[in-house]
Amino acid sequence: MPFMIGTAPIRRTVKYLEAGKLVLKKSIQIMLINYNSHGDHHNGIRNFVFWHLSQILYKNPDVQVVTIKNKTPSPFISCFYENGKKMLIDVDMKSKDEIMDHLLQVIGKSKKTLMEEDVLKMKQDNPANFGFGCEKSCICTIPGQLPCPGTIPLPYHLRGKYLMSKNK
């Protein structure tokens, strides 16, 4: 397998990419990461980019993520919003885990929001699903299905009571 060659090939597996925790808010359009490839105070952001950038890209396909290397004296992350505002996040002398925790709190979606979106997505993804929050409210609205028994009574041959009483 050629994709398992190189430093930390685990980063290229789908299981690793799906394990990413950072899902950015919908209003963020661009995330800009500035750091240097040398210097001790840039170690945290370098490790963050090495280990977490691919997960961020995978989890946020609509967000443009740009990395700029060797252009700044101190590392920082800039986030640009839909309304034109900009947020500057200082990551100087922080470890990759501290950076991830801070980004989860500041620009990440909450766990409650993610769970609600997952439930809605699961309901809406499959056209066979019906009920509240789905495309069809009841199975009787799908062509070829029996109407609701409350509206039109079922035929006798489909009723369990009728079949059981007939056999006795």
DSSP string, 57-125: HHH-TTSEEEEEESS-SS-EEEEEETTS-EEEEE-TT--HHHHHHHHHHHTBPPHHHHHHHHHHHHHHH
Domain ranges of the chain: 2-113, 120-167
**81-138 confidence digits (pLDDT tens):** 999 999 999 999 999 999 999 999 999 999 999 888 887 776 666 777 777 777 777 8
- Laid out side by side, the sheet with 28-35 consists of 64-69, 28-35, 76-81, 86-90
**CA gap 38, 135 in Å, rounded:** 54
Residue 144 reports pLDDT greater than 90:
no
Tokens of 86: 């900009």
Whether the model pTM is above 0.75: no
CATH for 2-113 (3.40.30.10, 3.40.50.300, 1.10.3720.10, 3.40.50.2300): 3.40.30.10
Tokens of 46: 């370098």
Residue 20 reports pLDDT greater than 70:
yes
Check residues 75 and 168 and name the one with the higher pLDDT.
75
Residue 134 carries which DSSP code? S
Structural contact between residues 79 and 66, judged by C-beta atoms closer than 8 angstroms? no
Interacting residues of 136 by C-beta distance below 8 A, sequence separation 6+: 129, 130, 142
* pLDDT at site 124: 65
* pLDDT at site 123: 64
- pLDDT exceeding 70 applies to what percent of the chain? 92
3-class secondary structure, 56: helix
**45-63 confidence digits (pLDDT tens):** 999 999 999 999 999 999 9
* pLDDT at site 168: 55
